[in-house]
Chains A and B, each alone.
Chain A
């Protein structure tokens, strides 16, 4: 079955960087786009960007343009989301989510909690 398994929780200092992984299985990795969405504690869903695993090209929400890098490794069917210059308000659960044609998100990874704390 299709599965997205994300890396474990992270605690980082303000100003540091974090890199989260999302390993896909159960389908042809390059056939589907992958999105990243985050959710701050008690808040709604915020779209961050999308990567095309076929060529590695990404599109980011303007808010994250200068601080986020999405990459992929086709050999291991894994996508990565790296965020730099972390701030306290980056504390959130970060999700990867697959989509066909970059449209609907299904399924989602289990989420990775990133806590930014001094």
Chain B
């Protein structure tokens, strides 16, 4: 199975800050990565797919980059509604696997 390792596990930030979350795959997954946002008590929401493609309706302050084994989710200017947990996920092979999550908290 492909392991997806996210870092950090949590980050404290203020509104307006730039936040970066890293996801490392245990093998080359080309660009088969998606990022999801999950708020408490809610289902995850797709933000970015194919490593860098913004899902329709997602604000442009979210961006993704990377290829191979290392991927990054960036929030360019954190907004109050962005405080949530973020997960990466690989679709290179079965079983599909997720990172352990990164909680973005208010500083």
Binding site for B on A (CB under 8 A): 35, 44-47, 50, 59, 61-62, 95, 97, 102-111
Q: A44-B87, A45-B44, A95-B43 are in contact. Are A105 and B97 (CB under 8 A)?
A: no
Q: Residues 71-107 of chain B: 1 if any A CB is under 8 Å from the residue's CB, otherwise 0?
A: 0000000000000000101010011111111000000
Cβ–Cβ contact B46 & A104, under 8 A: yes
Give the number of residue pairs across the A-B interface with Cβ within 8 Å. Answer: 56
- Neighbour of A104 across the interface among B34, B95, B101, CB < 8 A: B34
Q: Is B62 an interface residue when CB atoms closer than 8 A count as contact?
A: no
- Sample of 18 more A-B contacts, CB < 8 Å, known A104-B34, A108-B44: A35-B96, A44-B99, A45-B36, A45-B87, A45-B98, A47-B98, A50-B96, A59-B94, A103-B32, A104-B46, A104-B89, A104-B91, A105-B89, A106-B45, A106-B46, A106-B55, A107-B46, A108-B45
Q: In the bound complex, do residue B98 and residue A46 qualify as a contact, i.e. CB atoms below 8 Å apart?
A: yes
Is the Cβ of B45 less than 8 Å from the Cβ of A103?
A: no
Number of B residues whose C-beta is below 8 Å from A? Answer: 21
Bound state CA distance, A106 and B46, in angstroms? 6
Tell me the minimal C-beta distance from A4 to chain B in angstroms.
9
Residues of A within 8 A of B87 (CB): 44-45
Is there an interface contact between B98 and A108, defined as CB atoms closer than 8 Å? no
Distance in Å: Cβ of B91 to nearest Cβ of chain A: 4
Q: Is the CB of A44 within 8 A of B34?
A: no
Nearest neighbor of B56 in chain A, beta-carbon distance: A106
Nearest neighbor of B6 in chain A, beta-carbon distance:
A44
Contact B36 A105 (CB under 8 A): yes
Q: Is the CB of B55 within 8 A of A102?
A: no
Which of B34, B97, B100 is A47 in contact with, Cβ under 8 Å? B97
List the 5 closest pairs (A to B, CB-CB), nearest first: A108-B43, A106-B46, A47-B96, A104-B49, A61-B95
Partner of A111, one of B43, B55, B94: B43
Q: Which residues of B contact A108 (CB under 8 A)?
A: 43-45
Q: Which chain A residues border B36 with CB–CB below 8 Å?
A: 45, 105
